[in-house]
Structure 1
Amino acid sequence: MDALRNDRESLVVITGGLGRVATVLRPHLRAHHRLRLVDRAASAEPAPIEPGIDVHQADIGDPDAAYRAFDGADAIVHLAGDSNPWHGWDEVYAANVPPTETVLAAAAERGVPKVVLASSLHAVGEYNRPEYWPVSPQLEPRPCCPYGVTKVEVEALGRSHAERTGASVTCLRLGLTGWPLTERRYLGMWLSNDDAGRLFLAALRTPEPYGVHFGVSANTRNNWDTTSAQEALGYRPRDDSEIFAGSAGPPSGPVCRIFDDSETSGCEERP
């Protein structure tokens, strides 16, 4: 297993490269590596792409397009997909599972040594209850919605890829990333923009055979155990959602079973 070279010449290909999470990560990764962004969209909105970043408009679910996009890649960060927990099974499966299979197959053909897969806390959302806090990433998956189920499948595909090819695969179960923290229920799962950059850089540089880690900040009300990310990846989160506790409001509506019916699910003070 090889980690990404820690130099400005290494090439990181980001799928979903014009999306919300990629927009958060771009300045952090660009400071250390060359970037190629792959996305179905024709242009970035609202954040323009900085000079020197390669942009490919392509459907990453197309095997030929994926193979071309990964030419010369030292690492792949796979962010493309449907992250909406309200969407039904057919919709999120089609957007998340077959494209990941295509990405990993193309990565294998190209011999890409490092792959980072974006997973989600929704893969274990049913554990977001006081009796399980802090939730361990070593627990059996318990997805809370169809989106979470697809992320469990993505993780399984990543493990199979690592075992078959010898590539290093890291799955990051991301919390609230790239969204404003306006609701109290998200205080325990917030991932700041800066911590997101630290997390992905740490994952890219770590040659673990296969790993699954939580991606949240150093939140006072954290419900998710980041010990594995700290020990295996060297991730050092610095930010705390508590600065938003006074301004964050009540829920805007139902999400899925990652929260129960209580307004403060995941946010009450603990002794």
Structure 2
Amino acid sequence: MDAPKNDRDRPLVVITGGLGRVGTVLRPYLRRHHKLRIVDTAERADAVEPEPEVDIRRADIGEPDAAYEFLNGADAILHLAGDANPWHGWEDVYRANVRPMPALLQAAAAHAVPKIVLASSLHAAGEYNRPVFWPVSPRLEPKPCCAYGLSKVVVEALGRSHAERTGASVTCLRLGLTGWPLTERRYLGMWLSDGDAARLVLAALCAREPFGVHFGVSANSRRHWDTASAQTELGYRPQDDSELYADSAGPASGPVCRIFDDSSELRMRGMT
């Protein structure tokens, strides 16, 4: 995709949590096509160097007045902010992932933002990560494997409600392993490379589906998660394969959550 020829042609994308791990992966790619307004905590914002043509705001995204202010003029929202730790309990992930959503969506409705991309997670369907279900379809009912996954199911439901109520296009991306080194074999089936993460998000920002939920992984030979809907409905074209790293990836470092149970882990070890 060619970048717009001048700044006036670039739509403004507001990225919540844009200074985090996934946002750091995506920003260099998104800057080529969009004007960016990054909204994050003061702690993160004060720790980064200013970036050319990137507007960085310090705000609590769950505070209604702040959300209304930072969404002014937005053509799209990429919502990455939240707690992505599968070890955290419900109170922690609710506070970070669910509680801010009403203020964010109300402000989006007030400004009639036409496009919202919500970062969800494979953990929203983590209980399907068993050989009998591979490749897992995003059309299956959500089946979270932990409190974090459950919080993302709630976020998806709020996104659907917003789309139906306002007519905005809302796309939920159940991202796999993004922005982490591929050091363990059990992650080969859920890896999302930096380049494919950018291709997926750029496709989602351009798509005008009323509402959709799609898995975000690369073109991995170990097809644990079905990306057909992302390819057909968003135009996502993954190019990378985790199999390149299979020989260097090691054994599991310890328990995560039920996205890996003992039986599936033993089977996956037998495949390496």
Cα deviation, 1:221-242, whole Å, max 9, x if unaligned, reads 1200000000000000000111
| Contact map agreement 2:177 2:192 (CA 8 A) in 1 | yes
Cα deviation, 1:184-239, whole Å, max 9, x if unaligned, reads 10000000000000000000000000000000000011200000000000000000
Aligned to 2:109: 108
Confirm whether residue 157 of structure 1 aligns to residue 154 of structure 2. Answer: no
Q: CA deviation at 1:102?
A: 1.6
C-alpha distance in 2, partners of 1:96/1:19? 14
Aligned to 1:60: 61
Confirm whether residue 74 of structure 1 aligns to residue 75 of structure 2. Answer: yes
- 1:266–1:168: structure 2 CA closer, same or farther, 3 Å change rule? farther
Cα deviation, 1:224-264, whole Å, max 9, x if unaligned, reads 00000000000000001111111111111100000011545
3-state SS of the aligned residue for 1:50? Answer: coil
Greater RCO (Cα-Cα under 8 Å, separation 6 or more) = 1
| Contact map agreement 2:45 2:56 (CA 8 A) in 1 | no
Aligned to 2:99: 98
Q: Which residue identity is paired with 1:179?
A: W
Aligned to 2:205: 204
Q: CA deviation at 1:118?
A: 0.3
Q: Which residue identity is paired with 2:149?
A: G
Q: Which residue identity is paired with 2:197?
A: A
3-state SS of the aligned residue for 2:14? Answer: strand
State the TM-score, normalizing by the size of structure 1: 0.94
| Contact map agreement 1:13 1:76 (CA 8 A) in 2 | yes
Gaps of 5+ in 1: 1-5
| Contact map agreement 1:187 1:267 (CA 8 A) in 2 | no
| Contact map agreement 1:188 1:222 (CA 8 A) in 2 | yes
Q: Which residue identity is paired with 1:123?
A: A
Q: CA deviation at 1:98?
A: 1.3
Aligned to 2:219: 218
Q: Which residue identity is paired with 1:199?
A: L
3-state SS of the aligned residue for 1:142? Answer: coil
| Contact map agreement 1:221 1:269 (CA 8 A) in 2 | no
Structure with the bigger percentage of helix: 2
Q: CA deviation at 1:62?
A: 0.7
Gaps of 5+ in 2: none
- 1:220–1:107: structure 2 CA closer, same or farther, 3 Å change rule? same
C-alpha distance in 1, partners of 2:244/2:47? 26
Aligned to 1:3: none
- 1:45–1:247: structure 2 CA closer, same or farther, 3 Å change rule? farther
Q: CA deviation at 1:48?
A: 3.8
C-alpha distance in 1, partners of 2:234/2:205? 9
C-alpha distance in 1, partners of 2:181/2:46? 17
Q: Which residue identity is paired with 1:148?
A: G
- The percentage of aligned residue pairs carrying the same residue is 71
Q: Which residue identity is paired with 1:145?
A: C
